[in-house]
Amino acid sequence: MAVSLSKGGKISLAKAAADAGIPNAAALTKVNVGLGWDVKRYDGGSDFDLDAAAFMLAATGKVRSEADFIFYNQKVGPGVTHLGDNRTGEGEGDDETIEIDLSQVPADVEKISFTVTIDQADVRNQNFGMVENSFVRVYDAATGTELIRYDLGEDYSVETAVVVAELYRHNGEWKFNAIGSGFQGGLGALCANFGVNIG
């Protein structure tokens, strides 16, 4: 049974794995982060393309280099792989997935932040108030067993980017934090926040 968190909730990855019955849970290193969403009835005439990304952050809260920004155009970083862009959000389950091998994440990366942005939100006049059933879940890559789930709820209106969650190191172990923090300014605002120059 997955641990269900609300905004601000935190849990050790090893504890969540143990609670889910994963053998040798403390040694778990390969997990997938699935992100999903649905679009409310929307009559703007444009597709609604949400994009998941991961920012690998040093102790400064910033990326070490542009290579630490993992998204649909740069799918692979050290220990982190983006499995591809879903341009419509159609279908059930995860819309986009990011694979994590924690054993391959460099020691000076203290946090991996997972975000979702709306592509061309300003041009298409779209925002997260038009999105529903958003969730992030962490599951064991080997078995598919869901460990942690965070349903974001419906408290966004004008935001065009959301930091949904993060995996972070604490006293030598990885923990999950359900964040759900909205940004205006889309991907550009997130990149500025995390020290990525997309200029």
Question: What is the longest distance spanned by two Cα atoms in the chain?
Answer: 50
Q: What is the pLDDT of residue 130?
A: 83
- The whole-model pTM stands at 0.91
Q: What is the pLDDT of residue 87?
A: 54
Q: What is the DSSP letter of 41?
A: P
Superfamily, domain 3-194? sav2460 like domains (2.60.60.30)
Q: What is the pLDDT of residue 30?
A: 95
Q: Which residues pair with 9 in a beta bridge?
A: none
In the chain, where the domains are located: 3-194
| Residue 138: strand, helix, or coil | strand
Pairing of strands 173-183, 161-170: antiparallel
Other beta carbons within 10 angstroms of residue 46's beta carbon come to 12
Q: Please say whether the beta carbons of 175 and 11 come within 8 A.
A: yes
Residues contacting residue 146 through CB under 8 Å, at least 6 positions apart: 2, 20, 137, 138, 139
Digits of tens for pLDDT over the chain (199 positions)? 688 999 999 999 999 999 999 988 888 999 999 988 877 765 566 777 788 999 999 999 999 999 999 998 999 999 999 997 665 555 567 888 999 999 999 999 999 999 988 888 888 888 888 888 888 999 999 999 999 999 887 677 788 899 999 999 999 899 999 999 988 888 888 999 999 987 6
